Amino acid sequence: MAEAFGHRGTRAVQRMVEYAPSTGGLALWVRHHDLRDDETRSDPEGDAPVVATDGLTIFYARGFEALPLAEQVGWVAHEVLHIALRHTQRFVELQQLLGTVDLDLFNRCADAIVNSTLSHLSWLDLPEGALQLDTLLRSALEVEQPVEASLLEWDVERLYRALVERSRAGSARGARPERGRRGAADERTPAEKARAMGREEHADLRPAPSQQQAPEQEAQAAREWAERITRAHAGDGAHSMLRTLIADLPRVRTPWEQVLRTQLARCLTPQPELSWSRPSRSYLANQGRIGAHRRLPFEPGIGPTKAAPRLVVIVDVSGSIDEALMERFAREIEAITRRLHAALTLVIGDERVQKVQRFEPGRGRLGEIVFQGGGGTDFTPMLEEADHHDPDLTVVLTDLDGPARHRPRAPVLWAVPEANARAEPPFGRKLVLA
């Protein structure tokens, strides 16, 4: 738990806990750090706000102390919600998914949601010019919606995507500029309008990709913050800092690596079998008798299976899977086959089977194989080849773009990249590699 005393935001935290004991107490779960003058001057953004956060810590510049107490409370509550809603971590995740994300625009979207969440409180003051969600929707997206309804519908990712996609669509079709109130043409895109609505000195998100944890740890952190927010909101009731349980709560997403391990372990873990060559323990304990003159029927014991589990991995090399994702997928498959001592058969192909390679139990080396291919995809010959090896499970790494006219006897797991998450498999289960 974070320090409760000894930083520039101490008085603000005390007031938050006084007026909203549960939601205000969320400030005690974050770290607080007072910036030295030299740290403020060396800020890479050039114009550091009086308060900022990297997703774990709230940083206070010296100018924070000169603010009125009510405004200090507004700033600290604002940053606490950024951390609780995991906005900086979600920026990094969105960046990993899209490649490029405009931090200024993302910051505006996150600020609009947080400010609207806090705007109903009378015991704090938001900074001058604080951006509100309903104002952003009306001015940039032409959506007329009350604050309560907006908070229940919009999360930061959806809001950011809507601004970007609307801007791209307008540029692509060469939309006619809108007329402002005074008749002047407004040629700005929705994203540009949103940026103009916020103030530069309010740019308080400082994502630190180096602080990203393993997917399992990120999922656990999101789960913990979602639970804290829910409990705190219920505890404060009408005095909660949150206007309502907003749609922007941290999403608890189980990493695909964990889902893949669980599915493979469930299908490939050797199951004990009945052994008629040995009696059960209960039969031995009773010496095969009931009383002095009656015998028990023979009861078979349990013995370990002798057959090694078999896994078939089909890799679609039609060009739909990028190399980085394929490497991560290969590492996970290698790890699970070694741990379960499973035999692995690799089937590589696109419209036809190009290569079949078998590995002894626990000795799969997918990372050493170069996957090359191109063109279309037909899963039928590859699924037929998989059936010939009588697997316990077949995993297909693909974008699901192609026919599958054969259904194997064993379960099939279709592993698809995030870009193809909406594609439906012809049978079996789908796993999105996000």
Of residues 189, 194, 185, 195, the one with CA closest to residue 170: 189
What percentage of the chain carries pLDDT values higher than 90?
A: 46
**Confidence (pLDDT) at 4:** 46
Mean pLDDT calculated for residue range 31-53: 76
What is the DSSP secondary-structure string of 197-232? HS-GGG--B---GGG---HHHHHHHHHHHHHHHHHH
What phi, psi does 317 have (nearest 5°)?
-105, 35
Tell me the C-alpha distance between 253 and 26, whole Å.
Answer: 22
pLDDT score for 254: 66
Rounded to whole angstroms, how far apart are CA atoms 320 and 248?
32
Say if residue 433 is exposed, middle or buried (CB neighbours under 10 Å; 0-12, 13-18, 19+).
buried
DSSP-derived 3-state class of residue 6: coil
Domain covering 310-433, topology: Rossmann fold (3.40.50)
pLDDT value at 276 more than 90: no
Of 36-40, 153-157, 221-225, 403-407, the range with the lowest mean pLDDT is 36-40
- Flag whether pLDDT at 235 surpasses 50: yes
pLDDT digits (tens, 9 = 90+) for 72-110: 999 999 999 999 999 999 999 888 778 889 999 999 999
Distance of CA 411 to the CA centre of its chain: 27
Q: What's the whole-number average pLDDT of the chain?
A: 84
Instruction: Read off the pLDDT band of 219 (50, 70, 90).
Output: confident
| Nearest Cα to Cα of residue 420 among 325, 283, 296 | 325
Provide the pLDDT confidence category of residue 366 given band limits of 50, 70 and 90. Answer: low
Specify the long-range contacts of residues 160-163, CB closer than 8 Å, at least 24 apart: 160/94, 160/101, 160/105, 160/106, 160/109, 162/190, 163/105, 163/109, 163/190, 163/191, 163/194
Dump pLDDT digits (tens) for 131-141: 999 999 999 99
Q: Where in the chain is the domain with CATH 3.40.50.410?
A: 310-433
List, for residues 288-299, the tens digit of each pLDDT value. 777 777 777 877
pLDDT tens by residue, 376-388: 789 999 999 999 9
Q: Phi then psi for 60, rounded to 5 degrees?
A: -110, 125
Could you tell me the pLDDT band of residue 210, with boundaries at 50, 70 and 90?
Answer: low
Phi, psi of 314 (to 5 degrees): -100, 125
The pLDDT of residue 3: 45
What pLDDT, on the 0 to 100 scale, is given for residue 117? 96
53 three-class SS: strand
Which of 73, 75, 81, 79 is closest to 123 using CA atoms? 73
Which pair of tokens denotes residue 336? Answer: 């699970």
pLDDT at 359: 86
The percent of residues in the chain predicted with pLDDT above 70, rounded, is 85
Q: Of 20-29, 231-240, 272-281, give the lowest mean pLDDT range.
A: 272-281
Q: What CA–CA distance (Å, rounded) separates 336 from 354?
A: 25
Residue 223 has pLDDT above 50, yes or no: yes
Residue with tokens 């391990």: 261
CA distances 122 to 117, 118, 126, 368, 428, Å, are 13, 9, 10, 63, 54
Say which residue the tokens 């040629």 belong to: 187
Tokens of 77: 């509550």
What does each C-alpha distance from 4 to 32, 33, 77 come to in angstroms? 9, 11, 15
Task: Give the Cβ contact number of residue 40 at 10 Å.
Answer: 17
Kindly indicate the confidence band of residue 47, based on its pLDDT and cuts at 50, 70 and 90: low
Element at 311 (helix H, strand E) = strand 310-316
